[in-house]
Amino acid sequence: MRITGALWVWVQFYGTKVLLGEQSGGQRDIRLGKRVRLQLGHFFRGTDARSRGRRFVFTAETYAEMPRWRFTLATNPEEGARANEVRLVRQDPRSREAYPLWAQVINRLPSRVRPRQAIVFVRDTNNRIHVRCVDNESLRSLPRRLVHAMRASRSGRRAAPAGVWISSRPAGIRPTLSIELPRTIAGRRVSWLDRRPNAGELMRRATLGEAHVLKALRQRYPEPEYLVEHVAAVDPSSSYDIRVLRTGNRSLVLYAEVKATVGTVGSPVEISEREMRLRRQNRRRHRIFIVYLGRGGALPPSGVIEIRSDDQFVLSPRRYMLWPNGRGG
């Protein structure tokens, strides 16, 4: 990944308590201080961030197994004890807006100890925002100029909890931070990335995905000319989920296979040999819909990919992981 900008905040003592859900007072936000206020517009320029008064609402790319996550940066009013302070809003794990990774990768920090971890938002060359948590070791995976700026903001006369770095020349991030999955403080894989969802969760996702596609197909193939049947609701073992028929002679129009998942749009899904066999036998009358569920694994989806008869995809050997658009893994 190559980046053109970064926004970071060092996680100090009270910040760790917020992110771990151990703060007993009213603070639920991560405080970035005042200095970054005038630089936020520059960092978010060209991205999909929306400016709402004294707030920036934006969506960040995370990891393949996690959906994109929405964050809010708010600036306090110009009057008051914390005038013009910037806050990353509601990151306590008891809040629905909190990114769930924090609770597993943030380490407790004694008071009066210099922060060891930082939350970093980086802007890539396609103006997409990515979020990562870095420590002293993974910090070295960032561009050297950014590392220097971050370290300078942590100590010295002009120390500040947060900062913005903008570069006219794209700089690279090492794969250890750009594509590898995160680890807990103990060095283990994050539990919700290591565990396959249980059967109940997979069933819940499938039901949502099929409902979304069913609605879309009934709009595309309206009654009374067509009949759109939700076959999986009656026979979960079927090799397809939805079938479209012509009402008059009940001739087949379309088989639809629905894959519902969470994660970045374009990430792979599992598909069985039986499902692929049906596609090979009915190539011109078969569609695969990949529904990437939205925040919290819910509707509306963050994106839907429809793979038609001639659309390109890649099957990983043995595992039958389907990569849309022929991207491969």
Amino acid at position 325, single letter: N
Residues belonging to the chain:
329
Please give the CATH number for the structural domain made up of 199-324: 3.40.1350.50
Residue ranges of the domains in the chain?
2-193, 199-324
Alpha carbon 4 to chain centroid distance? 20
CA dihedral angle for residue 133, residue 139, residue 140, residue 146, rounded to 10 degrees? 110
Residue 329's pLDDT is 42
Residues forming beta bridges with residue 288, ordered by sequence position: 257, 307
Alpha carbon 212 to chain centroid distance? 20
Residues forming beta bridges with residue 61, ordered by sequence position: 130
Q: What is the Cα–Cα distance from 72 to 50, expressed in whole angstroms?
A: 10
User: Can you read off the two tokens belonging to residue 279?
Assistant: 């596609």
Report CA-CA distances (Å) from 214 to 173, 205, 227, 292. Answer: 41, 14, 11, 15
* pLDDT tens-digit series, residues 149-174: 999 998 766 667 899 999 999 998 88
| Domain 2-193 sits in CATH 2.40.330 | yes
Q: pLDDT by residue for the chain (329 residues), tens digit each?
A: 899 999 999 999 889 999 988 877 677 899 999 999 999 999 999 999 999 889 999 999 876 556 678 899 999 988 877 889 999 999 988 787 888 788 778 888 888 888 999 999 999 999 999 999 998 888 989 999 999 999 999 876 666 789 999 999 999 888 766 556 666 666 666 655 555 556 677 888 999 999 999 999 999 999 999 999 999 998 877 889 999 999 999 999 999 999 998 877 887 888 888 888 899 999 899 999 999 998 778 899 999 999 998 776 666 544 455 666 654 44
SS3 165: strand
Long-range contacts of 156-159 (CB under 8 A, 24+ apart): none
Single pTM value for the model: 0.60
* pLDDT tens-digit series, residues 13-44: 889 999 988 877 677 899 999 999 999 999 99
